[in-house]
A and B are shown apart, each in its own frame.
Chain A
Amino acid sequence: MLKPAQTTAPTEENAVFRGAAMPWLFLLPSLIILGVFIYLPALQTLRLAAYKANVILGTERFVGLANVTELLLSPAYRQVALQTLIFMVLTVGLGLLFSLSLAWLASRPIRGSKYYRLLLIYPYALSPAIAGTLWLFMFNPEIGVVNQILGDLFSVKPRWLDDPILAFGLVTLAAIWKGLAYNIVFYLASIQNLPGDVLEAAEIDGATPAQVFWRVAFPLLTPITFFLVFTNIISALFDSFALTDILTRGGPYYHHAGITTFLVYQLYQDGFVNFKSGVAAAQAALMLVLVAFITFMQFRVGERRVHYGG
């Protein structure tokens, strides 16, 4: 999932080498791994979703769609789904806005732009778990530096991790922060590949820098933006697990569920803490449908609306 949709890629493979068995020998290791560790578990997930199962007791009972309907009717699960959606929209929208602005600024022909670029992308090497750890300490209500400063200046010490709204905002901010570097890497690469003569022509014709950006550069950057929207949706759905697990443990509680309990966290809770394999598998099945839909949209939008420059 690292490249924009390859609709303009060459499709004509050149059959240089002969041999019927040879290509399969080269493909076999990859295909076996994918078959055993991706496709087999995917089928098994769909099967398990139709059972009430307990891995500890080793019991299985066929229930058909009962798990799925139970989930769809559960207020807790619906809340988790809605929270995930809000979290996703905020991280993707704000994250891409900040990333594009910063990448554009760092692409200006200014002194030291090379160093700015490096300073903007090195946090790529930081894991979500480390991000969670750093933020957990900074925003610790008692001993965290943020509250020590806020306490000294304004005599307030917000309970960042106990208040539902604050905890949700904190996790969202941390996720945006964590995602910046990845997005900036791709935006920088795309901006460097923009046709310089087109931008120059606009400049010579008297366009202001803002006009050059919005009218010329931004439309040319739509393919990478769409690509990043989809990769960011996927990482908001899945990579948020480590961050929320360390930072908030899914909580604090709000109405029916923890406010930062997102879909994967709920799946993990049901599967590996409550040992309700069937219900967890049903959640996984729903997520499979969701990911399939997102991927389908990616190809559809990618082919229709994207402007391929150059």
Chain B
Amino acid sequence: MAVKTGTAPLSRAGKPGGGRRGQSWTTHLALVIAVIIISTPLIFALIKATQESSAVLSANMLPGGAFFKNLGQVWFDANLGRYMLNSTIVAICVTTGKTILALMAALAFVYFRFPFKGVAFTLVLLSLMLPTEVLIIALFDLVSQDLKWANTYTAIIVPFLASATGTFLFRQHFLNIPTSLADAARIDGCGPLRYLTHILIPMSWNTIGALAVIQFVYAWDQYIWPLVIMQQDDKQVVQVGLRKLIEVGGQTDWGAVMAGAIVTMLPPLLVFTLLQEQFSRGFALSEDK
């Protein structure tokens, strides 16, 4: 349990095994092949996204210069720009909201003793067993009939603001921070909210970063719920938008679709790249040893 904040080793030098020269090149070979196989669909998409429509449908695998032409086609004519904006708004709101709510819940669980704490904790825990997909029929009734939220951002943001995963990860992280710190803070007259914002959050950036990646990707990837609740095209998210691009009258403009797919990957990839360090550390840190 002697894990210190932010110092989890990313790579441990001198690990035995593959250090032997004879095995090193087979390891390289296996990894290179794996990386190529895993990346093939993406490389293919990248190449096709740059080709003129005549080349897109052929076996031609040479990159062309039509990427921005293809992108313009989906961005303006097929509404991709609008979908991207919608998804960005939703993903940022969900990520931010989930982080704040999870931090608050973890604060309550770790630094307070109160009646029915076990019940509250169980309620959060059990929510993991109820994925949206299973609740979708009743959720649809509730959100569209009772709340009249159909075709609003509220419908795809608010139901997802509570995060059991986040609550547990923050709780785990807080439990690893010495109590003496909180005691000292309290004696100095620091309230719980101030302790959260001034001490806990600055000590939790790795966990926050790791969670932000997961939550952003989760929110960005939402598919079935927006598909049923968003009937209005200009409110739709980009994942369902992709489906619409393929649907267009049987005559799919594949070069444009590939350009769209590439651009759709960028925001989560950007978040992932920016927070890659925190992502790896946040998880290495949260492993119990």
- Chain A complexes with chain B: yes
Say whether B35 contacts A116, CB under 8 Å: yes
- With A and B bound together, what is the CA distance between A143 and B176 in angstroms? 56
Do residues A277 and B23 form an inter-chain contact, with CB atoms below 8 A?
no
* Contact digits for B150-179, partner A, Cβ 8 Å, 1 yes 0 no: 000000001111111101110010011001
Selected from A125, A213, A246, the residue in CB contact (under 8 A) with B243 is: A246
Within 8 A of A (CB), among B4-48: 8-20, 23-24, 27-28, 30-31, 34-35, 38-39, 41-42, 44-45, 48
Q: Would A291 and B224 be within 8 Å (CB), given that A185-B283, A246-B243 are in contact?
A: no
Q: Provide the B117-156 mask, 1 if CB < 8 A to any CB of A, else 0.
A: 1001001100111110111111111100000000000000
Closest chain-A Cβ to B283's Cβ sits at a distance in Å of: 4
Q: Which residues of B contact A277 (CB under 8 A)?
A: 137, 141
**Assembled-state Cα–Cα distance A308/B44 (Å):** 42
* A77 beta carbon closer than 8 Å to chain B: no
Q: Is A166 an interface residue (CB 8 A)?
A: no
- The answer on a CB contact under 8 Å between A16 and B261 is no
Taking the closest CB of chain A, its distance from the CB of B145, in whole angstroms, is 8
State whether A17 touches B104 (Cβ < 8 A).
no
- Write the B245-282 contact mask toward A (1 if CB under 8 angstroms, else 0): 01000000010011001001100110110001001100
Contact yes or no, B123 A14, CB < 8 A = no
- Tell whether, in the assembled complex, residue A15 and residue B112 are in contact, meaning their CB atoms are under 8 Å apart: yes
Query: What band does the interface of chain A fall in when counting residues whose beta carbon is under 8 Å from B?
Result: 35 or more
Decide: A20 near B114, CB < 8 A? Known: A27-B104, A130-B242: yes
On chain A, the residues within 8 Å of B23 by CB distance are 108, 209
Contact B110 A13 (CB under 8 A): yes
| Chain A neighbourhood of B133, CB < 8 A | 238, 241, 264, 267, 287
Find out whether the CB atom of B18 lies under 8 angstroms from the CB atom of A148: no
A241 to B117, CA, bound (A): 36
Partner of B114, one of A14, A24, A110: A24
Contact yes or no, B137 A29, CB < 8 A: no
Whether B165 pairs with A1 at a CB distance below 8 angstroms is yes
Interface size of B by CB at 8 A reads: 117
Q: Which B residues lie within 8 Å of A111 (CB)?
A: 24
Partner of A22, one of B130, B175, B192, B242: B192
Query: What are 5 inter-chain pairs, A to B, with CB distance below 8 A?
Result: A1-B165, A30-B161, A40-B138, A125-B217, A284-B137
Q: Which residues of A contact B (CB under 8 A)?
A: 1-4, 6, 8-10, 13-20, 22-24, 26-27, 29-31, 33-42, 44-45, 48, 55, 102, 105-111, 113-114, 116, 118-120, 122-131, 133-138, 143, 145, 148-149, 152, 177, 180-181, 185-186, 188-190, 192-193, 195-196, 199-200, 202-204, 209, 212-213, 234, 238, 241-242, 245-246, 264, 267-268, 271-272, 277, 280-281, 284, 287-288, 291-292, 295, 308-310
Report which B residues bind A (CB closer than 8 A): 1, 8-20, 23-24, 27-28, 30-31, 34-35, 38-39, 41-42, 44-45, 48, 57-59, 61, 101-102, 104-105, 107-114, 117, 120, 123-124, 127-131, 133-142, 158-165, 167-169, 172, 175-176, 179, 182-183, 186, 191-192, 195, 214, 217, 220-221, 223-224, 227-228, 239-240, 242-243, 246, 254, 257-258, 261, 264-265, 268-269, 271-272, 276, 279-280, 283-284, 286-289
9 A-B pairs with the lowest CB-CB distances in the bound complex, closest first: A108-B18, A15-B113, A203-B16, A310-B289, A44-B138, A41-B138, A37-B159, A23-B112, A33-B162
